[in-house]
Amino acid sequence: MASNEEMIIIEGLTKQFGALTAVNNVTFNVSKGEVLGFLGPNGAGKSTTMKMLTGYLPITSGRASICGFDVEDQQLDARKRVGYLPEGAPLYGDMTANAFLGFIAEVRGFSGSEKSDRVALARDRLGLATVFNKPIETLSKGYKRRVGLAQAILHDPEVLILDEPTDGLDPNQKHQVRELIAEMSADKAIVISTHILEEVSAVCSRAVIIAEGKIVFDGSPDELAGRSPTHNAVTVRVAGGADAMKAQFEGLDAVQTIEAADDGERLIIIPKDGTAIIENVSALVRAKGLEVEEIYVDRGQLDDVFRHLTLNT
């Protein structure tokens, strides 16, 4: 298969609950090898879109297909190719992780040694060995989430749809899950929903932001950062305090504003239109012989962009 093959195709997807339009004419494709971060405020329609993709919710209008199979007309073929972690990772609490994964493997059509191999592989990839024979309801939130993930990757699906896969995990577990996603991304199309923005820069090759059911951004995480007013801004800490030094940096090319940071020791030089100004700034520092204690380039505050995009619709 070609690396740019489109595994998920969504065209004009719309979902209405009575008078409420939860998802409004959403269109995007996801190719093999892509990890798409699906972002948006709570209630924006992320989970609803995922539920339609996995065939749980009927589609009001528009179309969606997984590996060429329509999610409604060829739903069983489509579902076979999807691994899905529903929101909140619902599981059968009275089963052990072992029995639960065995059940999923059997429904997915595996038996005998292939079944036990798949279950063992999923167990090891998610680090479930120590809790494998305990009832799921007695596990911590982090382990439950990992059992949910193990269930989703068990059949090595071509498409993974994970609704908040790292919710409730501690930083180490988050790191582990992100590594797992990165590991698997080469031969799969992966969609993860999240509202943790750092996750997008950490694992995603592309970000789609949805607000009130509509797509408000579709691009790479770098492009997303580029929308930030502080993208490529240069922060310098110079001896003598920010206010005193402010005048030294006046008159630089392509600079929008220069402001003192809250701590009063740093200067933030914000460029026009996100231009890279670090070279100009460092040239000026050298020319004037200023004593710089700290200097760095800001990639942009994703939080600001997110707020800007999702509130101005």
Partner 1 sequence: MRYSWVIIKRELAAYFATPLAYVFIVIFLAMSGALTFFMGAFFERGQADMTSFFTFHPWLYLFLIPAVSMRLWAEERKTGTVELLLTLPTPTWTIVLGKFIAAWAFISIAVAMTFPLWITVNFLGEPDNGVIVASYIGTLIMAGAYLAIGSCLSAVTKNQVIAFIISSVVCFLFLMSGLELVQSFFQGWAPEFVLDALRSLSFLTHFNTIIRGVIDLRDVIYFASMIGVFLYANAAIVDLTRGS
**Minimum distance from residue 15 beta carbon to partner 1 (Å):** 9
Helix 171-184 and helix 141-153: axis angle, to 10°? 10
Which residue's CB is nearer to partner 1, number 109 or number 264? Answer: 109
Q: How far apart are CA 233 and CA 296, in angstroms?
A: 8
**Minimum distance from residue 8 beta carbon to partner 1 (Å):** 15
Strands 6-17 and 61-66: antiparallel
Which residue's CB is nearer to partner 1, number 64 or number 203? Answer: 64
Report the site for partner 1 in 138-157 (rule: CB under 8 A).
Answer: 151
Q: How far apart are CA 191 and CA 9, in angstroms?
A: 12
Which residue's CB is nearer to partner 1, number 54 or number 310? Answer: 54
Number of chain residues interacting with partner 1 (CB under 8 A):
30
Q: In b/e form, how buried is each residue of 145-170, taking b as 16+ CB within 10 angstroms?
A: bbbbbbbbbbbebbbbbbbbbbbebe
Residue among 31, 41, 60, 80 that touches partner 1 (CB under 8 A): 80
**Minimum distance from residue 78 beta carbon to partner 1 (Å):** 8
**Minimum distance from residue 30 beta carbon to partner 1 (Å):** 18
Q: Is 94 in the site for partner 1 (CB under 8 A)?
A: yes
Which residue's CB is nearer to partner 1, number 145 or number 266? Answer: 145
Q: Choose the stretch contacting partner 1; rule: CB under 8 A; options: 4-12, 49-57, 126-134, 279-287.
A: 49-57
Residue among 12, 43, 68, 93 that touches partner 1 (CB under 8 A): 93
**Minimum distance from residue 283 beta carbon to partner 1 (Å):** 58
Which residue's CB is nearer to partner 1, number 135 or number 241? Answer: 135
Report the site for partner 1 in 192-251 (rule: CB under 8 A).
Answer: none
**Minimum distance from residue 115 beta carbon to partner 1 (Å):** 11
Q: How far apart are CA 223 and CA 87, in angstroms?
A: 28
CB atoms under 10 Å from CB of 118, counted, come to 21
The CA-based dihedral angle spanning residues 164, 106, 137, 172, taken in that order and rounded to the nearest 10 degrees: -40
Handedness of CA 68, 70, 71, 73 (dihedral sign): negative
Residue among 88, 127, 142, 229 that touches partner 1 (CB under 8 A): 88
Helix 112-125 and helix 97-107: axis angle, to 10°? 130
Residue among 58, 68, 240, 264 that touches partner 1 (CB under 8 A): 58
Q: Is 168 in the site for partner 1 (CB under 8 A)?
A: no
| 3-class secondary structure, 144 | helix
Q: Is 266 in the site for partner 1 (CB under 8 A)?
A: no
CB atoms under 10 Å from CB of 14, counted, come to 17
Quickly list DSSP for 151-202. HHHTT--SEEEEESTTTT--HHHHHHHHHHHHHHGGGSEEEEEES-HHHHHH
Q: Choose the stretch contacting partner 1; rule: CB under 8 A; options: 103-111, 125-133, 198-206, 278-286.
A: 103-111
**Minimum distance from residue 202 beta carbon to partner 1 (Å):** 27
Q: How far apart are CA 234 and CA 217, in angstroms?
A: 26
**Minimum distance from residue 195 beta carbon to partner 1 (Å):** 19
Identify the H or E element spanning 45: none
Q: Is 55 in the site for partner 1 (CB under 8 A)?
A: yes
Give the footprint of partner 1 on this chain (CB under 8 A): 51, 54-58, 76-77, 79-80, 82, 84, 86-88, 90-95, 99, 103-104, 106-109, 135, 151
